[in-house]
Amino acid sequence: MEIERRWLVTGWPELESAATLYMDQGYFAVRPAVRIRREVRLGGPCRYIACFKGKGGLVREEIELPVTAEQYGALAAMLDAPMIEKEQRRYPLPGGLTLEVNQVDPMLDTGFFYAEVEFPDEESARAWQPPAELADYLSRETTGQPGESMAAYWARTRLA
């Protein structure tokens, strides 16, 4: 189960990041979302993941399965469009939460930034307010809005 809120943002926040990851991901389906992703943590390991996401906004089913580098390569070769490129920076927040800020397709005109915070339960997600220093930065919430998912971005930019 995935419980997260999402915002469109402009640039990186003025916070000290804890981790940086470089990712590429591609979609086999957008409803429900079926994707593969390669994640490389700066100074750390590389992970390959197949992910299945159900319908929903704030709360939705998510199943992630590890795949090998060989399986990932074979799956990537089946895609008919270039991968989405992302840089993700993670920032610690009070209460043990993490702000994940993503720069999507930085070399393309369609590129943009978005932020997410994952929560342990729906009640805490609904009650959470951004810290004062992030209130303006996290002012354009898109949680649950149609067309604001990465799968929708894939459909707009890769399948059009």
pLDDT, tens digit, 9 for 90 and up, residues 93-116: 999 999 999 999 999 999 999 999
Domain count, the chain: 1
pLDDT score at 142: 97
pLDDT tens for the chain, residues 1 to 160? 999 999 999 999 999 888 999 999 999 999 899 999 999 998 899 999 999 999 888 999 999 999 999 999 999 999 999 999 999 999 999 999 999 999 999 999 999 999 999 999 999 999 999 999 999 999 999 998 999 999 999 999 999 7
> What is the extent of the structural domain holding 63?
2-158
**Of 8, 46, 57, 55, which is closest to residue 24 (Cα–Cα)?**
46
**How far is 103 from 123, CA to CA, in rounded Å?**
28
CATH of the domain at 22: 2.40.320.10
- Which residue carries 């994640």 as its tokens? 39
